[in-house]
Each structure stands twice: as C-alpha cells, then as structure tokens.
Amino acid sequence: MNRKYLSTLTGVAVAAVIATSGIANAADDNSLRYGEFGRPATLDPVTSNDMISLRVTELLFNGLVGINEKQQIIPELASKWSSDSEGKEYTFELRKDVKWHPKPGKEPELFTADDVVYTFNMMMHPKTITPLKVRYEFIEKVEKVDDNTVKFVLKRPILNALAKFTFKIIPEHGPKNPVFLTREDPFVQSPIGTGPYMLKEVNSDREVILAANPDYFRGKPQISEFVAKPFADQNIMNQALTFNAIDMIVLVNPRHLPELQGDKRFVLQPYNALSYSFFGYNVRHPHLQDKRVRKALTMAIDREKMLKSFFNDQGTLISGPFAPGSWAYNLDVKPEKFNPDEAVALLKEAGFTQGAGGIMTKNGQPLKLTLKVPIAKESESIKRVVLAFKGYLKRVGADINVEFQEWLAWKDDVFQKHNFDVVFASWVFDDSADISSLFHSAEVGAWKNNFGGYENRKVDSLIAESKLTLDHEKRRSIYRKLHAVLADEAPYTFLWTLTNYSAYHKKMRKVAIHPYKFFSFADQWFIAKDVAMTDQN
Amino acid sequence: MKFRLILACALVFGISGLANASSKDIKNAQDSFRKNQFNSALMPLIPVISDYSKVDAGTGILAGSVLVRNAELHRELSKLSISATVDYLKKLTKTKKGKEPSVFATLFYGEALLSQGDYKSAKKYFNQFLKKKVPEEYKEVARVKLGVVDWKLKQQNSAKAAWKKLGNSKSLLVRSELARVNAEFLGDDKQAKKVVDEIASEIKGQNNVSSRVLTNMISVYNEIKDYKSGMQVLAQHDIGSISYREDSKSGKFINFYDVNLLGDIAELYRGVASGLLETAGKDNRYKAIADLQQIDLDIIFGHSKNAAKTVRSMLSDQGLPAPIKKQVSIREGITAKGPKIWEKTVSDNSQDAMIVSKTLSTCVQASASCKTTNKRLEKIAENLKGTNAVMVNSSIGRYYLAEKKYSKAINFLEAARNKSLKNKIEANDPVLLVGLSDAYRHDNKYSESLEIYFEMSKEFPGVRQIQEAVQGVYAMEQRSAGDVKIF
C-alpha cells in the first residue's frame, strides 16, 4: 500500500470517525476536545498513578493550596494558613463557600474540615492502594479544629512543607467504602470533587466528558465542556487535530511536530521536561540481582544510536534517575558508553559462561528475560527501540522475549503481580525530583512504584537524609550522590528525555499549561469565537 | 539572510584560493560552523589564526566569522551568567534556620556584584568574607577585590596600597589576580605579562586548573592584546572547571565559578575577530564583507562610535556593491541618537520582512529605542511562514527579552524554535536558545532553561557555570508535592 493511498485512507477513516461520532458537528462551540494516547485507568486522585488520570483529576479536584505559574503557593480550598515557629504545625482555615459536585438527583453538599481529615486518613490507611503514602509519611496526624479549620501536625519540619498540601481532597460522602479506597470502589470511576469541572459521563467510546461546574468557588469556568478523547493510534490523533475533530493534543508524537509547526492554526507549547524513558529490571530475578548483569545490559545497548535512529535525535541521553532539566541532575555523571566487549566481560565476571546458542548461562540458568511493553504506548519508534534492545542483547548472549500488553494488563503485571523481568516505560516528575517512591526499599509492594523490588541501604539512607535536611544545598548534594550511586547500580537502564510538546488550536486563548499537571490553570482558558478553522498557512 | 548568502559565497571563494590553514581544518571548521558548533569550528583554526597578521584573507574571513558568532554568543552567555549567579548567590548568602551557612558564598557574591557595578554591596560581602575562617590565599583574593572596589570608587591610593601589600604572595590565585589589576588598572602591562606567562608555564599540562586563574590570564592577555597567548589558554585548559569547591563535614558541597570568565572569553574572541577582519580587509575582495562584520562586532560590544564611523565610511563609498550597501543601510540607525533612522529604514523597506527583521535585531543589539520598528515587524509576522517566520519571530522575541517582557519573548522565540530538535544547536541559532533560556528562567520555568543549557554545555563548556547557578535557584524555588507518575 503506498503512502499516499494510506494517507488518503487514514483521512477517510478519520472523517468517518468524526461523522459517525457526530462530535465535530454536535460539539458545543465552547467545548474543548483533547486527544490522549490511551485512556485513564481511574479518575480519582488517590489510586491513579498515570499521567492521563492525573490530567483529569486536575480538572475535577482541588487541594488545600495550589501553585500558580510563578511557583507561588496560592489559596485553594484553604483561604488562609499559618504555622508554628518550629514548622511542625500547619493550621488551615477552609473556605466556607465550596460545594461538592452534586451526586445524581441530589443537592450538592458543602465541603468541610471532615473531608480533609477523611482524605488524609483514608489515603494513609494500610489497605488504600495508592503511591501517595510515601509522600505524606512526614505528617503525624490531622485534626479537625472546627467545621472550617484543620490542623496538621508533622513528625518533623520539612523543606517546602506547604507545597505538600496540594494533594487533592475527596469527599467523605464519596467512596462506597468509608475507611479505605481501592480500585474496586465505584468512586474511582464516578468521582465527585470540588474542581472547575464535573464528571458528566464516560461514554461507550470511553470518552471522558466533563462539564463546567456552575458552583465553582472561583466562578464558573469559561469553557463549558472538556472532552478527553482516547486514541489508540497517534497518526489518527494527529489527523483528528488537523481535521478539527479535536482542539488539542496533550502530547504530540515527535514525528508530527514539523507538520504542526508549519500549520499556522496551531500553537505548540513545550512542557513535561522532567520525564525520561528507561528499561527497568525486576531484581527478584536471580540473574538481575547482580548489578554487574544490569550494568552489562546497559553497556550492551547503543543508546545514542537508538535515539538518533528511532527518534531523529529528538531528545537527550541521560545518565541517571533525573531528567537533564532537573535541579538534581548530576552534571558530572556521564551516560555509560556503548561497549559490548565490556558487557561480555562483566557477565563473565558475574559467573556466566557461554552456553547453547551463544546464550550466557549461570548455574545452569540461561540469561533469558521477558520484556513487557504497554501496548497503549506502542508506536513504531517504541517497537524499534525494544527490537533493537533485543538485538543488542542477543549479541552479548542475553535472550529477550518481547511481550506487548494492553495498558491495564501491563500495569497489573508490573505494579501488582510483578510478573516481568524487564519493562520499558517512562516516568514523569513534578519539579521536586523526589525519587523516593521509585527506589526506596519501603516502596516495594503491590501498586507501589518500586515495582522492580530494588533495595539498597545506601540509597535508602541517602533518601532518608534528603528528607531530613532543611538545607537546599545539602539536599542538592545528596541528590547528586544519589544520581551517581543509581547510575552505578543500574536498577534501570536510563535512556533519554524526549521532546514533549502539546499542540492546540489558536482559537484557544489564555492557555497556560502546568509543566506537570497540565490543566491546573484551565479554568481561565477560553475559546475565541472568530478564529478561522481552515487557514493552514 | 542575504548577508549570510554573501558571506557564504565569500567563504567558498576564500577557501578555494587563499586559505593557509590545511584544507581538512578548513573543511572541519566550515562543517562545524554550519552546524552552529562555533567552538568546534574554532578549535582547528587556532594554530593558524593565533598570529592573525599572517593569516590569508580567505582564512581570515572564515575564522573572523566564526569568532564574531563566538563573541556574540559568549557575550550573551556572560550577561546571563552574571544575572543567574547574582540570583543564586543572593539566596545562598541568606542563611535561614536549619541551614548550614556557606563560607565562600560571600566572596563569590561580592565578585558577582562587582561585575554588576554594585561596588558598595560588593565591599560589604568581601568584608564579611574576611571575617571568616578560610585559607589565607582566599583572604588575599578578597583583599585584591576590595582594592578593585576602592579603585572603582575613586580611592585609587587605597587600592594601590592594598595591592602592594600582597605583592609577595606565592599563591597562583593571588598572583593571577594581581596581574589582572596590573594590566586593567595600573597599566603595568610588562609586569602583568611576565606573571601570566610564568603561570602559563607552571600550569602547562595540568588538569583542573582553577577557572579563577584561567580567567585572570585571559583578561591580562586581552588587556595587553596578546590574543595568541589568550587563545592558547583556551585551547589547553578546561574552561568549564570550577573555581572553588566548598566541601563541608556534613557532606554538602557547593561549586563556585568565576563570573568574569565568559565575559573575558567574549572579549578575547572579539579581539581576535577584529584583528582577523582587519587583516582580511586588506584584500579588496573581502574588504566590504570584513567591514560589515566589524560593524556587527562593534554593535554587539557597544562600540557604537566605531560602528557608526564604519557605516558612514561604507555608505559614502560609491563603488560599494549594491547588496552590501543595502546591508550597511540596515545598520545606519547606529549613526544617530534616537530611533528615527531605524524607523526610516523600516519604513523604506516595509515589504521586506528580512530587512525589517535584521533592522530590529540590530536595533536591539545597539540598545536603541525599537518600539516602532517592532510594531511594524509584528504586523508583518502575522502573515509569514517558513524560514522568514523563524528570523522575524526571533527578532521580535529578542526585542521583548530586552524589554524584560518574558512571556511575550517566550511566545515569539518559541515560534522561531525548531520544535523537533528543540534544544539542539545544530537546528537552532545558539543565541536564540540563550535568549529563550533566559526568558524561561525569568518566567520560573527552570526545567526548560536547564534543558537548553544541558545541550549547549556539550559544545560550550563555559555554560556549566550557568547550569549550576540555575540548578541552585531552582532547587530553592521549586514548590511541589513530590509527585511522579508513569507516562
């Protein structure tokens, strides 16, 4: 099938999708349809651990405080706050005019201190499935002072404590289970919050439709509806944007950037600089327990060539657990050089000998590993990366079996069952550069982020030390050490940070994008009425 | 654009006939220059151009062009470094409860303030540093700096007395500092050269020489116009090296850099470029191109009178080829005070986006009033696409950057940026990237800034000092909950 024909066919397919869904015509002029590559697993802020969910929850919920574009702490559900001189007690006065989104057929309930106490206690409950616990272990307790006042008592003063109170508050009357929250609770699919948008429905196409909250405490948002449209194919998502079937793509596939850059209808905006891709190892596998094996796998692959060949060099190689845009990146640690001979030497040093078919073997066990890749993130580039990984490792005697899995099944295998040897994935960070949930030994367990089961005392103690210090420069020094240690330990093969751009139609105005949460300022966005939709150049 | 075409023709012509560098070196330099790798372009030419009076015209034009771009970039980097360093050290010197104070921050903050011309504040911090328990040679460095403050505050006798007391110091740092003041303030070029030449012999082959020593040496060679020796310092040492690492018992370490380094390097490049262009201009075939480059160099470095003189001289030359004359007229605004000529140039060429764009960028570089010029260009920009749009948006972006309107600057500079290879200098003018990084830094989008520096530092090691300063500010400014999610 030639490319032109394929392109026409894709165009027809997109047009057909648009026509049958009726979105293009039926959509309110004042609604914003945005494309996501995949769909959210849950819609609540506690159990979710992926970016697609995070973006939806940003529209649905609020924290006690927020952070504005200038990195200043601003009031959200709390109107005022104070702390004691030691920085161990934080008291928040809550707004009295905040209502929860109404449950079907019911009047909206008022937000109170009980909801704050409930959220914290539920979040920290041992049976609640959430990656948030590690982040809030510094809080000893929360107390209701009165209906509109809460007090948090900390175990110790910490750096930037106030910023931690950006966690989203959920209603006491929301979840079915009043004590803890799991992914089985209906609330995680039908949440109610206090945010600028309310969940209207998740339709049969798995589109998440959010309607403007008329009672939003900062005033009804300008855009009447947000529709998150899931796409399984990035080409079709891009076509949908150019055909005006959607107004925004949250993350543009780098290969589509030149086309969109040349189209004057769209604005391209960078964000998510603090992200990176990696191959993560399950150190429960007897062979992968040995850091020499993990380092050998890292040295066996030519990351520079992969980045150039598969991503047209649209990114930056990294050497450790932070992105180059992070304040914590250790500039002295350079990415491990591609050196297959050294990789083989390391495997031999670790006790491997070449067995049948050239596969390295130790104690009768061949170096055969299963690599799991989420299919929702499947793209031509990713396929090439994992196949190259397989090819490179074959040359040093490691046999990689690649399995593509549906996104939710992949998450289940990786985060819950730990049924994998190697994964290909990417992390996105807010700018705290907090890697404790990824590498601290206390974070090994079901639905926790240290899914590889990596444990190292030195790493644990550096993480603990970083949390105890109140000195920014000391914390920076500790993180640089952490970077060096983890680069040497290679619990992951750290790969690269890619170019991340969002694209949106220029009819959208006052668009400020939060570099991590994306929709934090979306209640201020609006859609201009007089902008041509077809003027491409 | 037209100027670049003329320049490219001249370069091709030049290397085909006259170059006295090896053809391999020339080709490497050209390849690197085309990819905006100005430093890589320069390195193979250093052995040939150091004695620029003997360089042939073709090589002179190529090397001169490489150096003009290097000089422009390093001047921008220098401004940015001073600003970022002041921001960082200001925060670092404010010790709060629970924070271990930095001992050396006061010395380096004093130096950064001195670079900004805030002499009284600089004096305060140098005096604070002198009260600390630090190695004697660093106290001596602070005393040299206090002398500089006195000199700037017109207390020259006091400055001389302070420097005289330190004359017997054996410390490499102090000797280099004294050589610097000898050349810069006392006019004792001979003594200054003697000292830095001795230092050059002492540090030959050494790794990790303090950047304080390197920048002082470069500064002396600049003052005495011994650019050949200055270029040798660059070629032989790592200019990304630190000046001092403060390592506390608690495991905290802080790297300090010399805030003068990038400016001294820029000045060195300017000096060599100017010499090369002068040599190349002796060949009539290259004179116009060389003079045009010299005008730009003078404008970049604020030497408006020199630039204006050359502009007038060129415009009065009846034999000047029309395309060159057009290029000179774009720069005519420099010959008068006020915005009138800049605006007339724009008005006379309002259909030519490139001319208006170049007029605006030159106007901005000359620190003139460019409001009307910018207004005109913004109108033109609405209907542009392709390469033209890149140049136009870049000029407008730099205008807003100069106006300190950072969000607007970001909008236009982003529009000029190659999105696929957003941080690669091969795909973006490095000066544009520096401007964008500065706008993002002021807009508190530090990660976007740091990404740019990360890529740039691979080609320009001096960028390391900006990276560290911005990382330091970011570490203190970031307010977030510690979240991380799977993509």
Domain segments of chain B as ranges: 2-69, 81-266
Provide the residue type at B470 as one letter: V
Helix (H) or strand (E) holding A361: strand A360-362
State the smallest CA–CA distance between residue A104 and chain B in angstroms.
31
Of A339-343, A489-493, A511-515, B78-82, the range with the lowest mean pLDDT is: A511-515
Mean predicted lDDT score pLDDT of chain B: 91
Tokens of A344: 């083989």
| Pairing outcome for strands A368-374 and A399-405 | parallel
pLDDT at residue B8 greater than cutoff 70: no
Of A274-283, B55-64, B209-218, B401-410, the range with the lowest mean pLDDT is: B55-64
CB neighbourhood size of B167 (10 A): 10
| Model confidence pLDDT, tens digit, residues A150-207 | 999 999 999 889 999 999 999 999 999 999 999 899 999 999 999 999 999 999 999 9
Over residues B53-79, the mean pLDDT reads: 93
Contacts of A161 (CB under 8 A, 6+ apart): A83, A87, A90, A138, A154
Cα B341 to Cα B338, B348, B355, distances in angstroms: 8, 10, 14
CATH code, residues B81-266 = 1.25.40.10
Cα A505 to Cα A243, A408, A526, B163, distances in angstroms: 11, 31, 12, 64
Interface of B with A in 83-102 (CB under 8 A): 92, 96-100, 102
Helix (H) or strand (E) holding A152: strand A149-154
pLDDT at residue A15 greater than cutoff 70: no
Whether the Cβ atoms of residue B196 and residue B163 lie closer than 8 Å to each other: no
Residues of A in contact with B479 (CB under 8 A): 67, 71-73, 160, 162-163
CATH code, residues A65-164 = 3.90.76.10
Interface of B with A in 227-286 (CB under 8 A): 250-254
Between chains, do A313 and B251 touch, taking CB under 8 Å as contact? no
Query: Which residues of chain A does CATH 3.10.105.10 include?
Result: 275-498
Q: Which residue of B has its CA nearest to A376?
A: B487
pLDDT at residue B17 greater than cutoff 50: no
Over residues B365-384, the mean pLDDT reads: 87
What is the percentage of chain A residues whose pLDDT exceeds 70?
93
Over residues A481-493, the mean pLDDT reads: 98
Domain A275-498 has CATH 3.10.105.10: yes
Alpha helices per DSSP H over A333-430: 340-349, 380-395, 407-411
Contacts of B397 (CB under 8 A, 6+ apart): B409, B410, B411, B412, B413, B414, B415, B416, B432, B435, B436, B439
pLDDT band at A6 (very low <50, low <70, confident <90, very high): very low
Phi, psi of B202 (to 5 degrees): -65, -35
Query: Which residues of chain A does CATH 3.90.76.10 include?
Result: 65-164
Of A275-279, B215-219, B345-349, the range with the lowest mean pLDDT is: B345-349
Residues of B in contact with A515 (CB under 8 A): 445, 447-448
pLDDT of the residue at A10: 47
Q: Write down the residue that tokens 């915005």 correspond to.
A: B339
What is the C-alpha separation between B358 and B468, in angstroms, rounded? 33
pLDDT of the residue at A255: 85
Residues of A in contact with B98 (CB under 8 A): 157, 469-471
pLDDT at residue B97 greater than cutoff 80: no
Nearest of B171, B169, B168 to residue B202 by alpha carbon: B171
pLDDT of the residue at A20: 44
Record: fold of A3-41+195-272+502-527? D-Maltodextrin-Binding Protein; domain 2 (3.40.190)
pLDDT band at A1 (very low <50, low <70, confident <90, very high): very low
pLDDT at residue A89 greater than cutoff 70: yes
Over residues A210-222, the mean pLDDT reads: 96
Between chains, do A516 and B451 touch, taking CB under 8 Å as contact? no
Provide the residue type at B90 as one letter: K
pLDDT of the residue at B379: 85
| Model confidence pLDDT, tens digit, residues B217-261 | 999 999 999 999 999 999 999 988 899 999 998 889 999 999 999
Query: Which residues of chain A does CATH 3.40.190.10 include?
Result: 3-41+195-272+502-527
Phi, psi of A94 (to 5 degrees): -95, 150
Contacts of A295 (CB under 8 A, 6+ apart): A336, A343, A346, A488, A490
Between chains, do A273 and B472 touch, taking CB under 8 Å as contact? no
* Closest partner CB to A163 (pick from B419, B448, B480): B480
pLDDT of the residue at B120: 96
Best A256, A261, A326 member to test B by mutation, with max B CBs in 10 Å, is A326
pLDDT at residue B11 greater than cutoff 60: no
Over residues B155-166, the mean pLDDT reads: 96
| Model confidence pLDDT, tens digit, residues A437-465 | 999 999 998 888 999 999 999 999 999 99
Mean predicted lDDT score pLDDT of chain A: 91
pLDDT at residue A534 greater than cutoff 60: no
* Closest partner CB to B478 (pick from A71, A275, A438): A71
Any A CB within 8 A of B24 CB: no
| Model confidence pLDDT, tens digit, residues B164-199 | 999 889 999 999 999 999 999 999 999 999 999 999
pLDDT at residue A375 greater than cutoff 90: no
Q: Which residue of A has its CA nearest to B423?
A: A315
State the smallest CA–CA distance between residue B422 and chain A in angstroms.
7
Between chains, do A473 and B450 touch, taking CB under 8 Å as contact? no
pLDDT at residue A4 greater than cutoff 50: no
Over residues A325-331, the mean pLDDT reads: 97
Between chains, do A331 and B467 touch, taking CB under 8 Å as contact? yes
Nearest of A53, A52, A34 to residue A43 by alpha carbon: A53
What is the C-alpha separation between A411 and A425, in angstroms, rounded? 11
* Helix-helix angle A472-489:B464-477, to 10 degrees: 110
Contacts of B391 (CB under 8 A, 6+ apart): B1, B353, B354, B357, B358, B416
pLDDT band at B20 (very low <50, low <70, confident <90, very high): low
Q: How far is CA A392 from the centre of its chain?
A: 29
